[in-house]
């Protein structure tokens, strides 16, 4: 068997509720700014929840050709723009490398639901002959990945991972595995989601999964707080350029981080509720750390899944304790969803970027709105204010409806192996 290749991150791109690029998003994270506010994209009268973490001020025609932008669902627009940012940082231009050695994997839990919702209304109001011929190619879940491929000229493997809220993390994990075994030199991997349409908000409300803290939306996402009452829906995209060490050296690009390990497990338990013991999520953490060759004593920071739902935060706390033992009480943890909301299938990719930026800037992001910790959530969740600390190894948890548990481990690129 041929040797396994080290997998480096050489570029990142972000479109988020905190900003339309990496710098603005990270500034929001550092300063504990909430990206949650009242929904502006539709009239929320009659809904139980009136707020979300919207991407504001985004005009796709500022980044994409007008004709192309109009033939993309919003989730694909986000991904195309984030991928352009990531490629620019990585110095990756069309024609600069063998395009058949560049793959694309963009995860999405819901795909083009905005297009589907709008066209369904047209069908009901105006009849079947008025439905757009672009309905199908705009709503398909793989279209973010396809559009990224076209925008960047990437001609290697190209597909979408769909594993609910683990989709973005699994896209990174699969990209990591492809490069590791030599199938690709570079993979543009991440997630994208644009679910803020009436039917989706109504559906999550029907599940009683969303926060209903309409009095002050900026305080609605409160992971690990005793008053938490559900997650806050968000939208956006994050795309990372993953690259073999050999390719990065050939191109003379400076890496931002290394993906050290990835693992995924399934609860095999319930369509929405996590396994109460946390055993399966803990196993994903343990396996990812083993794959990374990292001891629990070496973990410097965990970006928790931390959704702000009563069950997730409690069970994730248990899982971290099972996986890390006594080190669970030592390791700083935070949930960036307290600021960005929950980007569903894109969340894991955005949080991977946050882990990388945290290492780069030696800073632990805060968990905002954490004023009264739940007694069952008794670990160090970095309440309200960012903390300076040298970080060499970081870990990101992503857990999804259906029992998906996906964990990524990152290290500084120059860390001794």
CA dist., res. 222 & res. 220, Å (int): 6
For residue 250, what pLDDT is reported? 96
CA dist., res. 169 & res. 173, Å (int): 6
Q: Is the pTM of this model over 0.85?
A: yes
Let me know how many helices (H) and strands (E) the chain has, helices first: 13, 14
Classify residue 50: in a domain, yes or no: yes
CATH number of the domain encompassing residue 388: 3.40.47.10
CA dist., res. 300 & res. 392, Å (int): 7
Residues 263 and 365 in one domain: yes
Classify residue 398: in a domain, yes or no: yes
Residues 135 and 30 in one domain: yes
For residue 277, what pLDDT is reported? 86
Catalytic residue among 5, 305, 315, 404: 305
**Positions in the chain short of pLDDT 50:** 1
50 catalytic? Reply is no
DSSP 111-163: -SHHHHHHHHHHHHHH-GGGS-TTHHHHH-TTHHHHHHHHHHT--S-EE---B
Classify residue 2: in a domain, yes or no: no
Instruction: Quick: pLDDT tens for 334-353.
Output: 999 999 999 999 999 999 99
Residues 46 and 184 in one domain: yes
The whole-angstrom distance between residue 222's C-alpha and the CA centroid of its chain comes to 18
Residues 50 and 117 in one domain: yes
Residues 281 and 221 in one domain: no
Catalytic residue among 342, 353, 355, 377: 342
For residue 272, what pLDDT is reported? 80
Residues 402 and 365 in one domain: yes
Q: Are 343 and 16 in contact (CB under 8 A)?
A: yes
305 catalytic? Reply is yes
Residues 60 and 128 in one domain: yes
Share above pLDDT 70 across residues of the chain, in percent, rounded to a whole number: 99
Classify residue 309: in a domain, yes or no: yes
Residue-range definition of the domain harbouring residue 275: 257-411
Classify residue 321: in a domain, yes or no: yes
Q: CB under 8 Å to 398, separation ≥6 — which residues?
A: 165, 166, 168, 169, 170, 305, 347, 348, 351, 404, 405, 406, 407, 408
Classify residue 100: in a domain, yes or no: yes
Task: Report the domain count for the chain.
Answer: 2
Residues 171 and 25 in one domain: yes
Classify residue 417: in a domain, yes or no: no
Classify residue 234: in a domain, yes or no: yes
Q: Are 237 and 75 in contact (CB under 8 A)?
A: yes
361 catalytic? Reply is no
């Amino acid at each position: 068997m041929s040797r396994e290749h080290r997998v480096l991150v050489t570029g990142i791109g972000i479109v988020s509720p905190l900003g339309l690029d990496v710098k603005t998003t990270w500034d929001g994270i550092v300063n504990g700014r909430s990206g949650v506010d009242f929904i502006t994209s539709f009239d929320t009268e009659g809904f139980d929840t009136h707020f979300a973490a919207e991407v504001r001020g985004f005009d796709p025609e500022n980044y994409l050709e007008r004709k192309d932008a109009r033939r993309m669902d919003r989730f694909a627009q986000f991904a195309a723009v984030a991928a352009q940012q990531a490629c620019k940082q990585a110095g990756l231009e069309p024609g600069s490398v063998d395009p058949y050695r560049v793959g694309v994997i963009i995860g999405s839990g819901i795909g083009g639901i905005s297009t589907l919702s709008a066209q369904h209304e047209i069908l009901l109001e105006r009849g079947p002959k008025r439905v757009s011929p672009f309905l199908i190619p705009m709503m398909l879940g793989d279209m973010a990945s396809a559009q990224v491929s076209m925008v960047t000229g990437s001609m290697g493997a190209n597909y979408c991972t769909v594993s609910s809220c683990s989709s973005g993390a699994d896209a990174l994990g699969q990209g990591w595995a492809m490069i590791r075994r030599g199938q690709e030199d570079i993979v543009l991997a991440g997630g994208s989601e644009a679910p803020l349409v009436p039917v989706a908000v109504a559906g999550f409300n029907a599940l009683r999964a969303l926060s209903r803290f309409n009095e002050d939306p900026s305080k609605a996402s409160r992971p690990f707080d005793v008053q938490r009452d559900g997650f806050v829906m968000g939208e956006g995209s994050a795309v990372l350029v993953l690259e073999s060490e050999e390719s990065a050296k050939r191109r003379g690009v400076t890496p931002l981080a290394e993906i050290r390990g990835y693992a995924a497990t399934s609860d095999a338990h319930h369509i929405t509720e996590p396994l109460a013991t946390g055993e399966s999520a803990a196993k994903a953490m343990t396996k990812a750390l083993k794959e990374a060759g990292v001891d629990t004593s070496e973990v410097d920071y965990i970006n928790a899944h931390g959704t702000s739902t009563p069950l997730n935060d409690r069970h994730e706390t248990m899982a971290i304790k099972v996986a890390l033992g006594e080190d669970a009480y030592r390791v700083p943890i935070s949930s960036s969803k307290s600021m960005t909301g929950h980007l569903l299938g894109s969340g894991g990719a955005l949080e991977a970027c946050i882990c990388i930026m945290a290492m780069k800037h030696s800073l632990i992001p805060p968990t905002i709105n954490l004023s009264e910790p739940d007694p069952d959530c008794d670990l160090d969740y970095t309440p309200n204010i960012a903390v300076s600390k040298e970080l060499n190894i970081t870990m990101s948890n992503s857990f999804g409806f259906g029992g998906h548990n996906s964990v990524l481990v990152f290290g500084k690129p120059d860390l001794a192996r």
